[in-house]
Amino acid sequence: MTLSAPAAMNPRWTWLPLDRSGSASAEPLVREWLGVQLGGPGAAVPIGRDPRGRPWLGGPLADWDCNWSHSGDGLLVALGQGIRVGADLEWRRPRPRALELARRFFHPDEADWLAAHGEQEHAFLRLWCAKEAVLKAHGHGLSFGLDRLVFADTAAGLRMQACDPALGSPSDWTVRELTPAPGYLGALAWRPRGAPAS
């Protein structure tokens, strides 16, 4: 496989339609896109899975990382070099229990912010995507605890304000909010590969 892509800290990403009517898995589509990005056949991209199910890239791509998320009929895929990246995609549907869920699972400061927000369901989903993207980059997934990382809204979008030391330092993390397609919200989160965390 030719590593033709230039080294860059910012992940590249794509949104792809995913037909979920059958038992279609996302991985073949992911492979196809990764192959195009990396200059080789998708079938040859060395994708492994860690014990928690997180995908990783091996062999000559060991310095690269990818992650993907599916929701509704969409697939969000991210790829980066020298970073650990997480992706989350959420189909926008009514979420009348948004505040109740936030009070139960998010940090109290975030739930308070949501309670004062005019568009609660949208704000809830933005927070959810940002948090899940970070937890997927980290690799432990939601079971790590959505309340162990705290976001605040800023002029530049959601920014991590505090987190459990197991995630490293908030300043290690970059989060990019996305509207990848009409009716969907998403987020990418990444941090340099060398950043200390467990």
Output the DSSP codes for 77-143: EEEEESEEEEEEEEE----TTHHHHHHHHS-HHHHHHHHT-SSHHHHHHHHHHHHHHHHHHHSSGGG
Closer Cβ to ligand COA, 113 or 144, answer by number: 144
**Least separation in angstroms between CB 154 and ligand COA:** 25
- Tokens 């505040």 identify what position? 99
Burial class (CB in 10 A: 0-12, 13-18, 19+), 181: middle
Write the binding mask 108 to 147 for ligand COA: x where contact by CB under 6 A, - elsewhere.
------------------------x---x--x-xxx----
CB neighbours of 144 closer than 8 A, spacing ≥ 6? 135, 138, 164, 166
26 binds ligand COA (CB under 6 A): yes
55 binds ligand COA (CB under 6 A): yes
* Farthest-apart Cα atoms in the chain, separation: 51
Q: How many residues bind ligand COA (CB under 6 A)?
A: 18
47 in Cβ contact with 56 (< 8 Å): yes
Closer Cβ to ligand COA, 43 or 155, answer by number: 43
Among the listed ranges 11-19, 34-42, 65-73, 181-189, the one in contact with ligand COA (CB under 6 A) is 65-73
Selected binder of ligand COA within 14, 27, 122, 193 (CB under 6 A)? 27
70 binds ligand COA (CB under 6 A): yes
84 binds ligand COA (CB under 6 A): no
69 binds ligand COA (CB under 6 A): yes
Residues in touch with ligand COA (CB under 6 A)? 25-27, 52-55, 67-70, 88, 132, 136, 139, 141-143
